[in-house]
Structure 1
Amino acid sequence: MRVRSGRLGVAAAYFDGTPEQVGRIRTWCAGATGLDEEAAAAVKLVVSELVTNAVRHSASGARCGRVKVTVEVLPGQIVLVSVTDDGPRALRPTTVPTLTTHISDTATCGRGLRLVAALAEKWWWTGFRGGPLTVWALIDPHRDLVA
């Protein structure tokens, strides 16, 4: 992990693009927000899904791949997170983050962004097809998810 902070109140770090790093990234994000365990739960879950997608669907999951994770706590304790990948994997179709319209009960993937959409106030991606992508999520950790 290499940590950088460009702006006051923003934490940013690079992590190896391996599934084993996801737990470490969750712990780092919780610490970066300064929120208690309960409030940080939604942030950790969203970041976990975004990192997993980057590792699974981009060059971040290839040998020597990495992801950049940023966390910023905005006024009102709203949390802005982003995960930047290393771009598309060689010899694979280029993809962009998209919510699927239908997921079968037996599908083994396709639920991650739906979970992000349910937990985040808003999510979006920046970048361009064929290059590194950054997926952003704006999370209110105090939002009542039951309502």
Structure 2
Amino acid sequence: MIIKQFFILILCMLAALEAGADVGVSAGISPLDDYSLRREKQLVRPADAFVKALAKHLEQNQDELTGLWNRGYGRNEMIKLILISKRSGVALKDITKQRDKGVKLLQLCEKYSINYADLLGEAKIVRTKVDVRARSFEPEIHYGVMRSSSAGVNISTSAATGQ
């Protein structure tokens, strides 16, 4: 019984193919799919408050640091790479190219005769300072009550009392 049902199913599929029906799984590639040939312009995320603060603190190009941030570099790693770049006198782009190839930070320090322990200590200090500075770039959000920035008075109560 099962063999007969399977045989009938195969015959129905073959009949549909002979009739010119579109049967099967498609990958969506055809001459009619011109939208697949167009590439949408990739949106660039705005710079993070930490990246802005880091660029100002270490006097680096904010766009270059934003690019590193968008490529997945972490905060501590960016700080260490910038410090290696400054201490060695090598451009940050060259340092990141080596890092992209899988070279470890310790190996970069050894290559440029930098003490790795000192680098870690300085990176912690820079991270603390940049974190404090980054808070000034983040807008304060007050939920529920809108406050006046000059007087510190609740606007909703002052409007109701006529002041």
What TM-score comes out, normalization by structure 1 length? 0.29
Considering Cα pairs closer than 8 Å and 6+ residues apart, tell me whether 1 or 2 has the greater RCO: 1
- Bigger share in helix: 2
- Bigger share in strand: 1
